[in-house]
Structure 1
Amino acid sequence: MPEPREHGRDAMSGPANAAFSELYSAYAAGRLDPAFALLLETQSMLRGDVRHALAVSETISGVVLEMAEPARMSAGAATRALDLIAQLEGETGRAASRQPEDRELADLPDPLRTPAQDAFAAAGWQGTAPGIRRMKLDVGSELDVELYRIQPNARVPRHTHGGMEFTLVVAGGFSDESGSYGPGDLAVKGPDDTHQPVGDPGDVCFALAVRDSGLRFTGVMGMIQRVLGR
Structure 2
Amino acid sequence: MQEHTPQLSELYAAYAAGTLSPSFKLLVETQAAIRPDIRQDLRESELLSGIFLEREQPEALAPNAFEKTLRAIDVLEDETDSAQAAHLANERLSEILDLPEPLREKALESCLRGGWKRMTSGVKRLDIAESASSHIHLYRISPGATVPSHSHYGNELTLVLQGGFSDETGSYGPGDISCKTPEDTHSPVGDDDGVCIALAVSEGGMQFKGMLGILQKVFARRPS
| TM-score, with length taken from structure 2 | 0.76
Counterparts of 1:93-112 in structure 2, within 5 Å, are: 93-95=63-65, 98-99=68-69, 100-101=72-73, 102-112=93-103
- Cα RMSD (Å) of the superposition? 2.7
Aligned residue for 1:142, secondary structure, equals coil
The alignment status of 1:26 with 2:22, answered yes or no, reads no
* Fraction of identical pairs, as percent: 47
Equivalent position to 2:42, from 54, 57, 78: 54
* One-letter identity of the residue aligned with 1:94: N
Equivalent position to 2:185, from 173, 194, 201: 194
Cα separation, 2, equivalents of 1:193 and 1:136: 22
Partner of 2:110: 119
Partner of 1:129: 120
Give the direction of change, closer, same or farther, for the CA distance of 1:174–1:224 in structure 2 (3 Å limit): same
CA shift digits 1:121-163 (9 cap, x unpaired): 1100111000110011128783111110000000000112212
**Bigger relative contact order (CA 8 A; separation at least 6):** 1
Partner of 1:157: 148
Cα separation, 2, equivalents of 1:36 and 1:136: 15
The alignment status of 1:144 with 2:159, answered yes or no, reads no
Cα separation, 1, equivalents of 2:65 and 2:158: 26
Counterparts of 1:32-51 in structure 2, within 5 Å, are: 32-51=20-39
Answer with 114-123 or 25-34: which moved more: 25-34
Give the direction of change, closer, same or farther, for the CA distance of 1:126–1:56 in structure 2 (3 Å limit): same
The alignment status of 1:215 with 2:206, answered yes or no, reads yes
Give 1:195 deviation, angstroms: 1.0
The alignment status of 1:203 with 2:189, answered yes or no, reads no
* One-letter identity of the residue aligned with 1:169: V
Give the direction of change, closer, same or farther, for the CA distance of 1:198–1:24 in structure 2 (3 Å limit): closer
* One-letter identity of the residue aligned with 2:152: H
Aligned residue for 2:102, secondary structure, equals helix
Aligned residue for 1:57, secondary structure, equals helix
Alignment check: 8 A CA contact 2:106 2:128 kept: yes
Partner of 1:67: none
Alignment check: 8 A CA contact 2:136 2:202 kept: yes
Cα separation, 1, equivalents of 2:206 and 2:136: 12
Residue ranges of structure 1 left out of the alignment (5+ in a row): 13-20, 65-88
Aligned residue for 1:216, secondary structure, equals strand
Cα separation, 2, equivalents of 1:203 and 1:59: 38
Alignment check: 8 A CA contact 1:9 1:187 kept: no
Cα separation, 2, equivalents of 1:126 and 1:25: 34
Alignment check: 8 A CA contact 1:34 1:139 kept: no
CA shift digits 1:76-118 (9 cap, x unpaired): xxxxxxxxxxxxx9x9322355325223200111221111111
Partner of 1:15: none
Cα separation, 1, equivalents of 2:18 and 2:130: 15
Cα separation, 1, equivalents of 2:211 and 2:130: 32
Alignment check: 8 A CA contact 1:126 1:133 kept: yes
